[in-house]
Amino acid sequence: MLILAGTPIGRPDDASPRLRELLADVDVVAAEDTRRLKRLADDLGVQVRGRVVSYFEGNERGRTPELVEMLEAGSTVLLVTDAGMPSVSDPGYRLVDAALAAGVDVTAVPGPSAVLTALALSGLPVDRFSFEGFAPRKQGERHRVLTALADERRTMVFFESPHRTRATLAAMAETLGPDRPAALCRELTKTHEEVVRDRLGALVEWVDAQEHGVRGEVTLVVSGAPERVADLGPDALRSLVRDAEAEGLSRKDAIARVVERTGIRKRVVYDAAHS
């Protein structure tokens, strides 16, 4: 049997009792980083008695057939990654696919998830969401992917490395709009956990204001595109802005509210309000 096990995303004591038992009992543990596995086992007070092999992006193509042979020979293989559930932006899919093709049973031991934790803390709608993984590193490809998501109605979740967070947020502000609500979640479940909830443009400014930049593991949660209101001309938009101003909002905030509620570009609403 192949067992996929979720590992803690921060605090070791979030590990499930089943994970502790399996680490001590299975025949083989395939780990994304064997050093992190040893550290986790030490933190949990568990002695890993089975064979430990590495299974990461650089060797999964070659190691998968070896693990399938072990499974077919009757071994129980536990697959763990550095944090969270295998296959979710981590190694795992290739082995699951090969194991199923070989007729091997596959199951999972649930565990902490950065995706679900960030969604729950974001303050954004979570009834429907999409997981987009890591945005492309290259600027042109990143812009193309984010532009294709501009009309996505579901809340979106992204992983990002600390040193690329600023560039990704800036690209999101450009393609999705600076007023799109979002949450930057870092170091989830750890001592220095922080969730910053604001609009994309403001989050870029927040990152710029950090003396030492963004640190730790980052998960970005971005609101889906608002429902667009069709056939709203300049007169209708101007009226909506004036209604918001009548409630006591400034012109800037009134325009921002109309943009959020209609999904119409800020420049269009601005021009209508000042015409």
- Superfamily (CATH H level) for 2-109: Tetrapyrrole methylase, N-terminal domain (3.40.1010.10)
Could you read off the pLDDT of 213-223 as tens digits, one per residue?
899 999 999 99
- Please check the confidence at residue 230 and state whether its pLDDT lies above 80: no
**What is the layout of strands, in order, in the sheet containing 218-222?**
129-134, 155-160, 218-222, 181-186, 194-199
Six token digits for residue 121 = 């803390």
pLDDT tens-digit map of 74-103: 999 999 999 999 998 889 999 999 999 999
Contacts of 48 (CB under 8 A, 6+ apart): 23, 24, 29, 37, 38, 41
Q: Whole-structure pTM over 0.85, yes or no?
A: no
Whole-number pLDDT of residue 226: 79
* pLDDT reported for residue 49: 95
Q: How many CB atoms lie within 10 A of CB 210?
A: 11
Per this entry, what is the length of the chain? 275
Domain ranges within the chain, ordered by starting residue: 2-109, 114-222, 234-274
Quote the pLDDT of residue 22: 97
Domain 114-222 listed as CATH 1.20.120.80: no
User: Residue 151 has which token pair?
Assistant: 């009309």
